[in-house]
Amino acid sequence: MKNVRGAMGHRSASRAATITVGILAGSMALAACSSSSSPSTSGGTSGATSSQKVGVSLILKTLSNPYFVSMEKDAQTEAAKDNVSLTVAAGKQDGDTQTQISAIDNAISRGDKGILITENGNAVNTELAKARAAGLYVIALDTVPTPASTVDITYGTDNEAAGKLIGEYTAAKLAGQKAVIAMLDLFNDQVVSVDVSRDHGFLEGMGIDPGSTTQNGQEAKSGKYTGGTGGDYVIACHQPTTGAIPGGKTAMENCLSANPNINVVYTINEPAADGANQALKAAGKTGVTVVTIDGSCNYVNGLVKDGTIAADAAQYPGKMASIGVKTIADIARGGTKPTLPAGKDFINTGTALITSQPIAGITSETPATAAGACWGS
């Protein structure tokens, strides 16, 4: 996923270079993993031959969000190629850790060789430790768990860099105008790294100090933003959405009640942005810049294309899942375990800024271009 005028443009280019290096380093690590994947009856985790099925569990946050459905789809496709028996489980809703814990226990009992997981929260960490102690190779997808050492490795997007992309875009689009900002997060009662990383990345892209490395809502509630040409800002609200359309709508309604002058809306994901736009439309609000993160085909070809969502930072969830399935299958057959790029706690699968309203000095893709790599239907 992830340029702005003057000094900001230079910093953005540096970030883009860093992201590219992360992707290349990740690719080299994956190449190393694949290069040793010939059938073997010794070494590795299981000594499985290519004719033997490798058991893998894919444990998702939910199956109500197309983001995770895309993971399931691409994981199933890769599993068929790699002679993998894939078991899929998911929480009943975002934040449901108990269902995920049960799925981890089942993977251990079944004798699976590995687990791919998008964590619903830190409550699953103890069970993941049990899985690793039992010899399963555990991969986090999308988001680095806290701590990162909870899993063997993570494949995901740099969520903070994705947030910075839409923050830099917003600051440039404001062109010095006062920003009255609504922050529509995932939760307000759970600390989930994707929530913090995206929120903080947006603020950093705007040129606002988040005030904490681990919590949302700790930034100064008013002051100066330094992104773009800079200007004054006010944080009107932080509201939870649970990453869903109804949650986004309710959160935006609450924010408008607190401050009807909101002109910038950061949202944790596209469904939250969709709900926020419904509330804005119902309130008769126009000219509000709504930005988000995800890159699904549904929204790229819809609300991003028509400009309702001003900018979106794309991610590639299916790629994360398919690489994860292949990694576990290769390791089970004696392959080399992937290694992290220097200074990183995950292997980056990429990001890009998408907008139908490009701004000079900011690198972006059109929705038409982005549609070639979007996820979902």
Structure tokens at 128: 């993941």
Least reliable range by pLDDT among 108-117, 140-149, 246-255, 351-360 = 140-149
Least reliable range by pLDDT among 20-24, 48-52, 123-127 = 20-24
Mean pLDDT of 102-113: 98
Q: How confident is the model at residue 8 (pLDDT cuts 50, 70, 90)?
A: very low
Residue 162 has pLDDT above 50, yes or no: yes
pLDDT value for 377: 73
Alpha helices in 39-187 (DSSP H): 66-81, 97-110, 125-133, 159-174
Residue 19 has pLDDT above 60, yes or no: no
Domain with CATH 3.40.50.2300 in the chain: 36-157+317-345, 159-314+351-370
> Per-residue pLDDT tens for 51-107?
789 999 999 999 988 889 999 999 999 999 999 999 999 999 989 999 999 999 999
Q: How confident is the model at residue 246 (pLDDT cuts 50, 70, 90)?
A: very high
Q: How far is it, in rounded angstroms, from Cα 364 to Cα 263?
A: 22
pLDDT value for 47: 61
Element holding 202 (H helix, E strand): helix 193-206
User: Do 160 and 200 form a contact (C-beta atoms < 8 A)?
Assistant: yes
Q: Domain 159-314+351-370 has what CATH class?
A: alpha beta
Mean pLDDT of 314-339: 96
pLDDT higher for 173 or 43? 173
Q: Mean pLDDT over all residues of the chain?
A: 88
Fold of 36-157+317-345: Rossmann fold (3.40.50)
Q: How far is it, in rounded angstroms, from Cα 58 to Cα 74?
A: 11
pLDDT higher for 74 or 3? 74
